[in-house]
Amino acid sequence: MAQVSINSDLGEWGLSTDSGERARLLQSPSVDIAPKSEGEAPPGGLGRGTTSTLGAIFIVVNACLGAGLLNFPAAFSTAGGVAAGITLQMAMLVFIISGLVILAYCSQASNERTYQEVVWAVCGKLTGVLCEVAIATYTFGTCIAFLIIIGDQQDKIIAVMAKEPEGAGGSPWYTDRKFTISLTAFLFILPLSIPREIGFQKYASFLSVVGTWYVTAIIIIKYIWPDKEMTPADILNRPASWIAVFNAMPTICFGFQCHVSSVPVFNSMRQPEVKTWGGVVTAAMVIALAVYMGTGICGFLTFGAAVDPDVLLSYPSEDMAVAVARAFIILSVLTSYPILHFCGRAVVEGLWLRYQGMPVEEDVGRERRRRVLQTLVWFLLTLLLALFIPDIGKVISVIGGLAACFIFVFPGLCLIQAKLSEMEEVKPASWWAMVSYGVLLITLGAFIFGQTTANAIFVDLLA
């Protein structure tokens, strides 16, 4: 593939031309990329990493699977049944995989290592700033969702330990949802969020993968051998309307969104080639699809239209196998929140430094004070919002709309800009096909984001 230099002049923002230096704070913590120094990278390309093809597949699957798994049975219900849910996921998967390949192509063309740097280099500073703001907002919303998940699972576990019905009046103050979420957050999440580095991420990744697969296995087993007290409500066979099908899109986008972390993973590979990467992401997405479909289909058929937005809440509190799944989810979320916060804080830090015209290299004291202040503000705001937004379905719907921007809109913009720079080097038919596909991606992402925003404003807020 021809190497193309795209919007490489970043001097007006006072940024270093070494993307490795600018990625110091924004680097994905889940991959191991060797530092890039002058003369180390091959001409027109990035330095080689250490991740094998199989390792890259595992990392992408790990980045894709997560707490969004719990909402997929409700997404099948929203879409109008199993057939509609499967069709929707299969159709969207084509665009999801193509977005990952486009990002890898643009990463090679622009010689950048992270998602926001690729967008910045390919599309310019305005789109780059919008991308960074979107990443910060997305990670902020996901942290809120994580805290809500903790509260949901703790409510069920506490009900079993206290041996009293859920929601029963006269419960002790220390079993109150707001108190338990706050206590857990202050004892575990806040201390893990303040450090500058998050080297424990490798253990969190393993824990998250184990928890995700266990939850999927339990949901499938409970469908095959259901408990007597679990009887499904109405099983939908067709969507109520075409709008209902599109309402399930944000959940799918939230579940499959691994695009932000995909660029560092691509550049961490021993052979960072677009063709190889296409095989990696295809294999990873097929694995993720199997997990999400297994969870979505079996969870939906177990409870029907009555399935809860968090499927684990639909199971009885006394079920010990499900209780273990809840414990896995809590542990996974406790370690995932600091990682998401780290990424969001790094983006906010980068925006602040550019706005102030300050260099990345500064005295440690000022950086530490600013980091602690940013962490406290982020933590307290997400905690307060989680305490007063008990429905995780609404949160996932909103951040799913933002996920659509990372999956469709920004890759579409990058594809168009990259092809515009190659206009004289490629055949007109090929050029028009790629530009048209980029426009299609942007339109699809804008539709999902617009629909989600409209629902949040005109449905949820006015209800």
> Is the per-residue pLDDT at 388 higher than 70?
yes
CB of 368 within 8 A of CB of 197? Answer: no
DSSP E strand boundaries for 58-115: none
**Does residue 261 contact residue 23 with C-beta atoms inside 8 Å?**
no
**Helices of type H across 361-409:** 364-388, 392-404
Share of the chain above pLDDT 90, in %: 45
Give CA–CA dist 274/188, Å, rounded. Answer: 40
Quote the radius of gyration of the chain (alpha carbons, Å): 22
Least confident range of 40-44, 181-185, 389-393, 448-452:
40-44
Amino acid at 50: T
Residue 287 tokens read as 């694995």
Which pair of structure tokens corresponds to residue 35? 């530092």
| Centroid of chain to Cα 126 | 23
Q: Is residue 166 over pLDDT 90? A: no
With contact defined as beta carbons under 8 Å apart, do 453 and 401 qualify? Answer: yes
How large is the greatest C-alpha to C-alpha distance in the chain, in angstroms? 74
Mean pLDDT along residues 372-384: 95
Task: Report percent pLDDT > 70 for the chain.
Answer: 81
pLDDT tens digits, 315-325: 988 888 999 99
Say if CB 339 and CB 204 are below 8 A apart. yes
- Residue 418 clears pLDDT 50, i.e. is over it: yes
Among 35-49, 74-88, 160-174, 206-220, name the one with the lowest average pLDDT: 35-49
**How far is residue 195's CA from residue 192's CA, in Å, rounded to a whole number?**
7
Could you tell me which residue, 105 or 208, shows the higher pLDDT? 105
- pLDDT-derived band at 355 (thresholds 50, 70, 90) equals confident
Residue in 349, 385, 392, 350 with CA at minimum distance from that of residue 369: 349
Which residues neighbour 156 within 8 Å (Cβ) at sequence distance 6 or greater? 166, 312, 313, 317, 323, 326
Distance CA 249, CA 398 (A): 11
Q: What is the DSSP string of 203-216?
A: HHHHHHHHHHHHHH
pTM of the full predicted structure?
0.82
Q: Is the pLDDT of residue 362 over 90?
A: no
What domains can you pick out in the chain, each with its CATH number? 50-162+172-391 (1.20.1730.10)
Report how far residue 41's alpha carbon sits from residue 93's, in angstroms, rounded to the nearest whole number.
33
Enumerate long-range contacts of 14-18, CB under 8 Å, 24 or more apart. Answer: 14/354, 14/357, 14/359, 15/354, 16/360
Adjacent-strand bridge partners of 51:
269
Kindly indicate the confidence band of residue 200, based on its pLDDT and cuts at 50, 70 and 90: low
Q: pLDDT tier at 145 (50, 70, 90 boundaries)?
A: very high
Helix (H, G, I), strand (E, B) or coil at 268: coil
pLDDT at 397: 81
First-to-final CA distance of the chain:
53
Q: Which residue has the tokens 């799944």?
A: 325
Beta bridge partners of 269: 51
The two three-digit tokens of residue 130, written as one number: 């919008």
